[in-house]
Amino acid sequence: MRLSSILIVLTGFGVAGGSVYAARDYLEAQAQAARDSGISTVSVLVAARDIPFGQLIEPHMVSSMDWPVDAVPAGAFTDPAALLPIEGQEPRRAMRAIAQGELMSASRVSGFGEKVTIAQTLSENTRAMAIKVDAETAVGGFVTPGDFVDVVLTQGSSETLRAITILQNIRVIGVDQDAHEENDAPVVARTVTVEVTPDQGQRLALAQKAGTLSLSLRDPAAAEDMPLEAISLNDLLQIAPPEEPAPVEVASAPAPEPAPAPRRAITVRRGGVVSMEEY
């Protein structure tokens, strides 16, 4: 590795570490200011270190901090006995990544001995669904849990080849067997698990059978795009569709002349002379 690359990595670690300590110092300063001003405070439990998704909550991972009584969020732990297990009891687990200095709350941890799965990270009325991918269809392995992607379907061959964006702004909740959002290391995955609504899940299942799915990494803060029309290979190469031949006019046969009306005749006898007269 080149010296410049090493310096960039070390600088990144330094900035990240400095941000954590700055946040902790800020919270401690706020708590001290509250104590100095005579505001009633209560001791709340916070993460003493970064706790990854699924990690067991152990005593050395938790510390306490004074917090204004009126500003304590709902579900925050104030009693260590409510968060940490007693002897012989299974510990809780982190249901999401908890950064150092964050409040420990009921929404962030599981019950005692409760198993933590991806399903617990899903939003209301959503599903987890896996997509088969490779290096080319998964942004070269740079898609990680927590990213947002668009899903593009490509189908057909040669002149019939076309592509269309079927889903937009979809959250990635797992890459292969990894669901840790703090893991941002690139990896060439075989499956990517995404969070979809039941309707989106049906579209995705059908699309996987119809052609090849590709993921397009996007900015999570960007607004959802308008629906996109399908684009074909001819559109990409700017090839105009062949002109349809003008319809050939076929001369119609002349209408047949009407048949003459039948004539009627009567026989007339005048004396001994017989004659035929038409009418």
Higher pLDDT, 14 or 45: 45
Give the residue-averaged pLDDT of 25-51: 76
- Other beta carbons within 10 angstroms of residue 114's beta carbon come to 14
**pLDDT reading at 182 higher than 70:** no
Q: HSE on the CB side for 57, CA within 13 Å?
A: 36
**Residues β-bridged to residue 216:** 150
| Average pLDDT score over the chain | 78
Predicted pLDDT of residue 223: 66
CATH 3.90.1210 fits 41-103, yes or no: yes
Share of the chain above pLDDT 70, in %: 67
Q: HSE on the CB side for 199, CA within 13 Å?
A: 2
Q: Which of 8-17, 90-99, 160-169, 202-211 has the lowest mean pLDDT?
A: 8-17
Read off the pTM: 0.54
Higher pLDDT, 65 or 261: 65
Q: Where in the chain is the domain with CATH 3.90.1210?
A: 41-103
Higher pLDDT, 231 or 81: 81
Predicted pLDDT of residue 44: 93
212 burial level (CB within 10 Å; 0-12, 13-18, 19+): middle
Give the residue-averaged pLDDT of 224-231: 74
**pLDDT reading at 228 higher than 90:** no
Distance CA 193, CA 174 (A): 5
Top mean-pLDDT range of 5-9, 81-85, 111-115, 134-138: 81-85
Q: Which of 109-113, 164-168, 185-189, 242-246 has the lowest mean pLDDT?
A: 185-189
Check if the beta carbon of residue 215 is closer than 8 Å to that of residue 131.
yes
Taking the alpha carbons at both ends of the chain, their separation in whole angstroms is 121
Predicted pLDDT of residue 60: 92
**Rounded alpha-carbon distances, angstroms, from residue 194 to 100, 142, 160, 243, 248:** 27, 15, 29, 44, 55
Q: Which of 181-185, 187-191, 215-219, 223-227 has the lowest mean pLDDT?
A: 181-185
Indicate the pLDDT class of residue 242, thresholds 50, 70 and 90: low
